[in-house]
Chains A and B, each alone.
Chain A
């Protein structure tokens, strides 16, 4: 039982190490103008998980602004549009997007439009309007925009895309921190936390820190069991239900 969660931790650690290596190379190139880290690199989803907050903190080598981009694992997503057919609302059209981040939030120390121009925003996918969401089919621009904004709207309703940008707070000139909130329905997987140092209208330094969101303990065992041995899981579920029903029936015999 403990072996399962341990294996998950090892997998997470391996992925972490790989990304940390990448981060180190980038940091060397940028000559350590920006150093940032998270209060935790693992969000453990246990049975009592109701969402959590991770603190990102760091330091710069001088005056400048900081933007943080948190991106969840990317997966395909389908947006369906309802239309009235014979008085009923039913799905008529759909559009598939590839590589949709399951989670996306941005925190900045100052409003972005005061800091950088549009090309920089687009290059770093800073802010929801700049988030790249490649669609599977070619549609007229206004239709594509409707599907795109519907995707973002649905994600925001689920609390997985931030509605407003978070605040990066500076303590003095160099030390900064921000709180990143992850709701109870946060998707599992490998997250990227990107810290960008902005000076004179451009990004001068960047650092990527990995963050693993993983089910741990009982909830991890249940979902591993269901995924790896689905038939056995089904049999166990039926037997458990029969036993529970029988036990309750016996317990209430005298009532």
Chain B
């Protein structure tokens, strides 16, 4: 005979009963929860595939996915930085063999990335003290994913339409905008560019800020910036951005582990096993895709994630109250 508490509100889910059948459940020591190993491997594969195909780290997809299966947000962010290191290394190797990495440009971007990460950590601290870090993270996701994704969506659809109508006037090969008048001009032989070093460094700095605040590699921002602002050859963009992401995500992993202890090695292991395998297939698939088709596909995914996050922000949550154990 079972009977209810007086406070029992009637509609709550019953806790799962123990089962004797063997399962694929794995206990995550830092997240302190048990997850289905196959599910996590699959998520890692999917994100790794996209990472290899588009040259984005896929962090912007992994954070919402991990939070969706119940991983605490801080641990989702810290752990995926770790798995992104592996995915980026394996992705860069594949691009490296095809000669698709501009190391010089990557190093200049990385210089800016270090400064950006430091600034991002500082901003993160301020938001945390104000007690609004959660909504700040969600809003920056919606803003960055929405604008970048929207711009890419428009541009790539236009490019595809132009391809289908060959009579249309072809755009100028190189448009000269004010950004190209900046000082500290540098020659990047591999990319056949002669541009100001401030430009790639600035892009790297914004990417570094995103690593610190949003816990992502920032590829979804770096890739279009490199295409549209630097006019870099499309084939080099993925490899070069991944090259830079290795270092920013490694730094993020170290910081997260040392200060917050939010890197779950077990979760990272599962994600990276799925991720490195997926990245290989992604790189192969990406090399067969036309540039504008790949951009259209990536833009669609980015916009979809932004819309989902915006929807969650504006729709009434099931429970207006949330509970956090611990001091904070």
Contacts and interface: CB of A to CB of B under 8 A. Distances in A.
Interface of A: 45-53, 75-84, 87-91, 94, 100, 102, 111, 127-129, 146-147, 149-157, 159, 162-167, 181, 183-185, 187-188, 215, 218-220, 222-223, 226-227, 230-231, 233-238, 240-242, 244-250, 252-253, 255
Given A51-B18, A153-B12, A245-B93, 20 more contacts: A77-B325, A91-B132, A150-B320, A155-B323, A157-B13, A184-B27, A185-B32, A187-B32, A187-B325, A219-B27, A226-B265, A234-B258, A235-B254, A238-B82, A244-B89, A244-B269, A245-B87, A245-B89, A248-B279, A252-B277
A193 to B, nearest CB: 18
A137 B75 CA distance: 30
Contact of A50 (B12, B34, B326): B34
A231 B257 CA distance: 7
A164 B4 contact: yes
Contacts of B2: 164-167
Contacts of B280: 248-249, 252, 255
B79 to A, nearest CB: 9
Contact of B265 (A82, A128, A240, A242): A240
User: A-B pairs with the 6 shortest C-beta distances?
Assistant: A245-B89, A234-B257, A249-B93, A150-B321, A248-B276, A159-B15
A16 B73 CA distance: 34
Given A159-B15, A237-B268, A241-B83, A249 B90 contact: yes
Nearest to B88: A245
Interface in B59-102: 82-83, 85-94, 97
Nearest to A94: B131
A255 B284 contact: yes
Given A47-B27, A80-B321, A165-B3, A249 B261 contact: no
Given A82-B321, A215-B29, A244-B272, A91 B263 contact: no
A237 B80 CA distance: 11
Q: How large is the interface on B (under 10, 10 to 19, 20 to 34, 35 or more residues)?
A: 35 or more
B314 A88 contact: yes
Given A89-B317, A234-B253, A248-B277, A82 B258 contact: no
A246 B325 contact: no
Contacts of B272: 241, 244-245
Interface of B: 1-9, 12-19, 23, 25-30, 32-34, 82-83, 85-94, 97, 131-132, 134-135, 246, 250, 253-259, 261, 263, 265-266, 268-269, 272-273, 276-277, 279-280, 284, 313-317, 319-328
B282 to A, nearest CB: 11
Contacts of B3: 111, 164-165
Contacts of A247: 276
Nearest to B5: A128
Nearest to A45: B27
Contact of B16 (A53, A155, A159): A159
Given A79-B322, A111-B3, A242-B86, A87 B263 contact: no
A54 to B, nearest CB: 11
Nearest to B256: A234
A219 B35 CA distance: 14
A248 B216 CA distance: 22
A50 B263 CA distance: 21
A82 B319 CA distance: 9
A248 B90 contact: yes
Could you say which of A76, A79, A151, A226 has the most chain B C-beta atoms within 10 Å of its C-beta? Answer: A226
Given A163-B8, A238-B254, A153 B131 contact: no
Nearest to A113: B6
Contacts of B15: 159, 162-163, 181, 183
Contacts of B320: 81-83, 89, 150
Given A47-B26, A181-B15, A188-B32, A233 B325 contact: no
Given A47-B27, A234-B253, A244-B86, A82 B261 contact: no
A43 B2 CA distance: 25
Contact of A48 (B27, B131, B261): B27
Contacts of A129: 5-7
A163 B261 contact: no
A234 B254 contact: yes
Contact of B135 (A87, A90, A242, A245): A90
29 contacts: A47-B266, A49-B25, A51-B34, A76-B326, A80-B323, A81-B320, A82-B322, A89-B313, A89-B314, A94-B131, A149-B7, A151-B323, A153-B321, A154-B323, A185-B34, A218-B29, A222-B30, A237-B257, A237-B265, A241-B86, A242-B85, A242-B246, A245-B89, A245-B93, A245-B276, A246-B93, A248-B86, A249-B93, A249-B280
A95 B131 CA distance: 13
Contacts of A90: 132, 134-135
Given A147-B321, A185-B33, A230 B257 contact: yes
B34 A157 contact: no
Nearest to A127: B5
Contacts of B131: 91, 94
